[in-house]
């Protein structure tokens, strides 16, 4: 039993974690790089944050590469440089997002009070103090718009994607081309299209449902292309298995292919909603406007969070701008909540 | 090679040209000569002059083979010789591939399944298929997988769902392993269990013929043995045609063996006969080289 006991005492030592002692040289070198950067910016005409960042990148990479070279040779130095470049690239991409979110939170939280979720702008103007008014009507409007646009575009998009991936009919090439062209349409053009096609030529006035139409137009190519991708990921063996069991193609698609692609299709909808949730331009032509809650989606103007943000911006006063920032923050949170709930809902059944 | 067709009473041999199909006739007649009172169930399948193309590539040339009811026939041969293509023409899965084309006839109970006006879904109900890679439906539970054929083909079984589940899973040799977790997802099963689930799924629609396209090539030896047992059990009630790369497997499970080969051109059927003859004294030199392991 002594062997077993001594065996049990062995602790995992591999893979080798970097010890604190091993970190000392590189930390010292990065510190040296920071000091060198500071000195050089101080004595030369270069200045500004950009100079700091650039010099620190050059010094840090150089020093660490030299360390690797002295320890493990040329290829290790190359490895260090490559890793450093990639890390920098990652940070550069990440920075704007972080900056955007932080700015929105800082500026938007000023107007974030409980009352904005229960009040509307019915009796308040944008320039009034932040203690009055709210954006409940805009939240509801945005939810209506997202819902209607999804209801319109989801079936069309999924059916189109099924046509392209399952039926592969004669018109596939043309439809593929049109879908690609559609995804390049600027949102304002979609708005003007609906405005010219429906509002100028008929007695219709801007309303929730009319406002949702350009959004659906924008959503269709995104959802279609994503749905197409995920349907292509469904293994052909499953289609064959269905057909070999004596199913028609329609039955195979409906009971096997689409359920197998379910999570991907939910992602497609999420991407589509992300595409339209912040759209302002098409709404300016088609939504009409409202300062209070409008439950009737077929008539009367409506408001939406991006529209609310835009109105606050146009107002231009200090509290107008503060309302805009709050609107952006609420929109961010709302979209986040929608995505999280879609994910939870989507992954509940399939393990 | 004397023609034994004359004594053959089980199969409609009148359309077969003796010169070309003498060997396959032997296979068929052997089956027909099985013990009386032990009449096999299922249906015979006859392939007549099958050619297959992928686009302009001629993959399979002039294969005629008879599969007598209640027999197991193994199709062997090196990769690319057209075995899988051939088996896929037998239940019209070949046409699922774009650009695929074929010529010839496949007779099920004497009727050509390629005749215009034949409902292809009905054909596939009678001629089931098990694929090389286990492909249970990931969005369904084990039980739903077994019964999926009924739902997909919109047919009703005379038996209750529970009985059918137990029967199919028992016949595929999986019942004892999964009976307590029929509601679990099929993805949690091992590869061998998944393949037996796929066999159970094919059985639920009660096919007369079962095509198996290298059903064990992705499985470990233990699972392979289980599936071979299953094949032996199933052969009592249906006609089985199995493509395999494993010659020992062909020798273990089949009554008849057909050897396919491609000499660079389209694949052809070189020889067919009772399995022990193909393996002990094949008539064609190429067959002998292959089964003795000199190539392939």
Per-residue pLDDT of chain B (296 residues), as tens digits, is 444 444 444 444 444 333 334 334 434 444 444 333 334 446 788 999 999 999 899 999 999 999 998 899 999 998 888 899 999 999 999 888 888 999 999 999 888 999 888 888 889 999 999 999 999 998 899 999 999 999 898 888 888 889 999 999 998 889 999 999 999 998 889 988 999 999 999 999 989 999 999 998 888 888 888 889 889 888 888 999 999 988 889 999 999 999 999 888 899 999 999 999 999 889 999 999 898 887 75
Distance CA A213, CA B85 (A): 49
Shortest CA gap A245–chain B (Å)? 5
For each of chain A's 351 residues, which pLDDT tens digit applies?
Answer: 556 666 677 877 777 777 778 788 888 888 998 998 888 888 888 778 888 888 899 989 999 999 989 888 899 999 999 999 999 999 999 999 999 999 999 999 988 888 889 988 888 888 888 888 889 999 999 999 999 999 999 999 999 999 999 988 889 999 999 999 999 999 999 999 999 999 999 888 889 999 999 999 999 999 999 999 999 999 999 999 999 998 999 999 999 999 999 889 998 999 999 889 989 999 998 998 888 899 998 988 999 999 999 999 999 899 999 999 999 999 999 999 988 888 887 765 544
Shortest CA gap A173–chain B (Å)? 16
B91-107: per-residue pLDDT in tens? 999 888 888 999 999 99
Using DSSP, state whether A345 is helix, strand or coil: helix
Smallest CA-to-CA distance from B140 within B132, B151, B124, B131 is with B151
Query: Nearest by CB to A350, which of B98, B122, B139?
Result: B139
Nearest CA in chain A to B185: A351
Structure confidence at residue B291 (pLDDT): 87
- Within 10 Å of residue A92's Cβ, how many Cβ atoms? 10
A350: which chain B residues are within 8 Å (Cβ-Cβ)? Answer: 138-139, 185
Q: Is the peptide bond before A15 cis (omega within 30 degrees of 0)?
A: yes
- Within 10 Å of residue B170's Cβ, how many Cβ atoms? 15
Give B104: exposed, middle or buried? Use CB within 10 Å, 0-12, 13-18, 19+.
middle
Rounded to 5 degrees, what are φ and ψ at A62?
-60, -50
Chain B contact for A121, CB < 8 A?
no
Rounded to 5 degrees, what are φ and ψ at B282?
-65, 150
Beta-sheet strand order (sheet of B127-130): B127-130, B209-213, B239-243, B72-76, B256-261, B268-274
Chain A contact for B98, CB < 8 A?
yes
Shortest CA gap B158–chain A (Å)? 18
End-to-end CA gap in chain A = 43
Q: Which of B122, B138, B145 to mutate to test the interface with A (most CBs of A within 10 A)?
A: B138
Nearest CA in chain B to A262: B139
Structure confidence at residue B296 (pLDDT): 54
Using DSSP, state whether B53 is helix, strand or coil: strand
User: Is A245 close to B148, i.e. CB distance below 8 A?
Assistant: yes
Pairing of the two strands B256-261 and B72-76? parallel
Cβ–Cβ < 8 Å for A289, A308: no
User: Is A256 close to B152, i.e. CB distance below 8 A?
Assistant: yes
State the ipTM, two decimals.
0.77
User: Is B152 close to A168, i.e. CB distance below 8 A?
Assistant: no
Query: Nearest by CB to B133, which of A237, A244, A260?
Result: A237
Q: What is the dihedral angle through the alpha carbons of B257, B262, B263, B266, rounded to the nearest 10 degrees?
A: 130
Residue with tokens 């939870």: A344
How far, CA to CA in Å, does A300 sit from each of A151, A153, A192, A216, B137? 20, 23, 19, 20, 48
User: Is A247 close to B153, i.e. CB distance below 8 A?
Assistant: yes
Q: Topology of domain A136-347, per CATH?
A: MetI-like fold (1.10.3720)
Cβ–Cβ < 8 Å for B136, B201: yes
User: Is A256 close to B149, i.e. CB distance below 8 A?
Assistant: no
Shortest CA gap B77–chain A (Å)? 23
Residue with tokens 């089980």: B10
- Within 10 Å of residue B38's Cβ, how many Cβ atoms? 8
User: Is A245 close to B128, i.e. CB distance below 8 A?
Assistant: yes
Chain A 206-235, residues with CB within 8 Å of chain B CB atoms: 235
Distance CA A52, CA A164 (A): 52
- Within 10 Å of residue B85's Cβ, how many Cβ atoms? 24
Distance CA A151, CA A308 (A): 24
Smallest CA-to-CA distance from A138 within A164, A155, A157, A119 is with A119
Using DSSP, state whether B14 is helix, strand or coil: coil
Smallest CA-to-CA distance from B150 within B108, B88, B207 is with B207
Chain A contact for B202, CB < 8 A?
yes
Give A244: exposed, middle or buried? Use CB within 10 Å, 0-12, 13-18, 19+.
buried
B198: which chain A residues are within 8 Å (Cβ-Cβ)? Answer: 241
Rounded to 5 degrees, what are φ and ψ at B213?
-100, 95
Reported pTM: 0.77
Cβ–Cβ < 8 Å for A147, A216: no
B140: which chain A residues are within 8 Å (Cβ-Cβ)? Answer: 259
Smallest CA-to-CA distance from B234 within B208, B214, B258, B252 is with B208
User: Is B128 close to A251, i.e. CB distance below 8 A?
Assistant: no
The CATH number of domain B42-138+208-291, selected from 3.40.50.300, 3.90.420.10, 3.40.50.150, 3.30.750.24: 3.40.50.300
Shortest CA gap B92–chain A (Å)? 9
How far, CA to CA in Å, does B178 sit from each of A238, B166, B205, B228? 22, 10, 20, 19
Query: Nearest by CB to A351, which of B128, B153, B185?
Result: B185
Cβ–Cβ < 8 Å for A309, A95: no
How many angstroms from the chain centroid is the CA of residue B232? 13
Query: Nearest by CB to A246, which of B131, B152, B185?
Result: B152
Q: Residue A334: how many CA atoms within 13 Å on its side-chain side?
A: 24
Smallest CA-to-CA distance from A199 within A120, A107, A283 is with A283
Structure confidence at residue A50 (pLDDT): 84
Residue with tokens 């997802």: B185
User: Is B151 close to A242, i.e. CB distance below 8 A?
Assistant: no
Smallest CA-to-CA distance from A143 within A349, A324, A341 is with A341
Q: What 8-state DSSP symbol labels residue B141? A: B
Each as own residue / partner, the long-range contacts of residues B281-288 (CB below 8 Å, 24 or more positions apart, any chain) are B283/B23, B284/B259, B286/B259, B286/B261, B287/B259
Chain A contact for B198, CB < 8 A?
yes
Shortest CA gap A316–chain B (Å)? 53
Distance CA A231, CA B250 (A): 37
* Domain ranges for chain A: 21-110, 136-347
Rounded to 5 degrees, what are φ and ψ at B128?
-80, 170
Shortest CA gap A158–chain B (Å)? 18
Chain A contact for B133, CB < 8 A?
yes
User: Is B205 close to A245, i.e. CB distance below 8 A?
Assistant: yes
Shortest CA gap B134–chain A (Å)? 9
User: Is B205 close to A246, i.e. CB distance below 8 A?
Assistant: yes
A256: which chain B residues are within 8 Å (Cβ-Cβ)? Answer: 137, 139, 148, 152
Collect all residues with Cβ–Cβ distance below 8 Å to A274 and sequence separation of at least 6: A335, A339
End-to-end CA gap in chain B = 27
């Amino acid at each position: 039993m002594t062997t077993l006991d001594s065996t049990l005492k062995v602790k995992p030592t591999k893979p080798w974690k970097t010890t604190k002692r091993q970190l000392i040289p590189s930390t010292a070198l990065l510190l040296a790089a920071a000091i060198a950067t500071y000195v050089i910016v101080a004595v030369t005409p270069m200045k500004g944050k950009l100079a700091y960042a650039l010099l620190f990148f050059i010094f840090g990479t150089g020093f660490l590469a030299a360390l690797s070279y002295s320890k493990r040779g040329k290829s290790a130095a190359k490895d260090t440089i490559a890793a450093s470049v990639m890390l920098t690239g990652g940070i550069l991409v990440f920075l704007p997002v972080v900056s955007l979110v932080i700015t929105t939170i800082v500026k938007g939280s000023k107007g974030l009070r409980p009352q904005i979720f229960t009040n509307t702008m019915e009796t308040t103007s944008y320039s009034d103090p932040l203690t009055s008014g709210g954006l409940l009507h805009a939240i509801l409007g945005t939810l209506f718009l997202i819902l209607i646009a999804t209801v319109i575009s989801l079936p069309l998009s999924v059916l189109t994607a099924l046509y392209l991936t399952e039926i592969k009919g004669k018109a596939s090439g043309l439809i593929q081309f049109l879908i690609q062209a559609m995804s390049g349409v600027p949102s304002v053009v979609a708005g003007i299209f609906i405005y010219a096609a429906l509002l100028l030529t008929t007695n219709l006035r801007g309303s929730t449902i009319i406002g949702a139409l350009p959004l659906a137009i924008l959503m269709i190519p995104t959802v279609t292309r994503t749905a197409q991708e995920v349907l292509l990921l469904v293994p052909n063996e499953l289609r064959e298995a269905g057909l070999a069991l004596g199913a028609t193609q329609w039955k195979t698609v409906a009971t096997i292919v689409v359920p197998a692609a379910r999570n991907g299709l939910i992602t497609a909808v999420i991407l589509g909603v992300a595409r339209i949730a912040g759209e302002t331009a098409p709404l300016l032509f088609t939504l009409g406007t409202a300062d209070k809650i409008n439950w009737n989606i077929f008539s009367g103007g409506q408001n939406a969070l991006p529209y609310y943000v835009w109105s606050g911006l146009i107002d231009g006063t200090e509290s107008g701008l503060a309302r805009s920032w709050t609107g952006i923050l609420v929109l961010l949170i709302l979209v986040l909540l929608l995505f999280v709930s879609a994910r939870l809902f989507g992954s509940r059944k399939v393990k | 090679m004397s023609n034994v067709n004359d004594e053959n009473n089980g199969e409609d041999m009148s359309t077969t040209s003796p010169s070309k199909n003498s060997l396959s006739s032997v296979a068929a007649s052997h089956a027909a000569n099985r013990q009386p009172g032990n009449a096999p169930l299922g249906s015979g399948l006859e392939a007549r002059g099958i050619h297959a193309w992928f686009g302009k590539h001629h993959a399979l040339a002039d294969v005629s083979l008879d599969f007598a009811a209640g027999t197991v026939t193994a199709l062997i041969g090196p990769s690319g010789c057209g075995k899988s293509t051939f088996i896929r023409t037998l239940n019209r899965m070949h046409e699922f591939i774009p650009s695929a084309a074929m010529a010839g006839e496949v007779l099920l109970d004497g009727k050509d399944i390629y005749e215009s006006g034949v409902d292809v879904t009905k054909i596939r109900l009678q001629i089931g298929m098990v694929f090389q890679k286990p492909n249970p439906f990931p969005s369904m539970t084990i039980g739903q997988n077994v019964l999926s054929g009924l739902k997909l083909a919109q047919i009703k079984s005379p038996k209750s769902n529970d009985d059918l589940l137990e029967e199919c899973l028992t016949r595929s040799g999986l019942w004892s392993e999964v009976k307590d977790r029929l509601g679990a997802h099929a993805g949690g099963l091992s590869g061998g269990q998944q393949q037996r689930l796929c066999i159970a799924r094919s059985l639920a629609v009660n096919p007369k013929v079962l095509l198996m396209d290298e059903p064990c090539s992705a499985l470990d030896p233990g699972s392979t043995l289980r599936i071979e047992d299953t094949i032996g059990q199933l052969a009592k009630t249906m006609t089985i045609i199995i493509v395999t790369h494993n010659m020992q497997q062909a020798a273990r499970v089949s009554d008849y063996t057909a050897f396919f080969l491609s000499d660079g051109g389209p694949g052809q059927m070189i020889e067919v006969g009772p399995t022990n003859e193909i393996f002990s004294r094949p008539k064609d030199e190429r067959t002998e080289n292959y089964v003795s392991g000199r190539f392939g």
